[in-house]
Amino acid sequence: MREREWDNGRPTDPHYPMTDATATTYRTWMCVVCGFLYDEAEGLPEEGIAPGTRWEDIPDTWTCPDCGVTKDDFEMVEVP
């Protein structure tokens, strides 16, 4: 059995199984007024927010595209 080679704490062997620990976790935020969902993984390209943009990186001046409320009126939710 050969030893695995490592690079920056990760195995270099392409057949080494990846685990969920290496996956990026994105969150979903819901407007409590109208129910609009912001998914960090999808972003809002039509609003200039690229996929993968974290909620905290969206400007505080941003408003819900459906009802116009601010980020203060959003809560993080778990979507199955």
Q: How confident is the model at residue 1 (pLDDT cuts 50, 70, 90)?
A: very low
CA-to-CA distance for 62 and 65, rounded, in angstroms? 9
Between CA 42 and CA 26 the distance in angstroms is 9
* Separation between Cα atoms, residue 12 and residue 18, nearest integer Å: 11
Whether the model clears a pTM of 0.75, i.e. scores above it, the answer is no
Catalogue all structural domains in the chain, each as residue range(s) with its CATH number: 25-56 (2.20.28.10)
Q: Each residue of 26-64: pLDDT tens digit?
A: 999 999 999 999 999 999 999 999 999 999 999 999 999
Neighbours of 1 (CB within 10 A): 3
User: How many helices (DSSP H) and strands (DSSP E) are in the chain?
Assistant: 0, 5
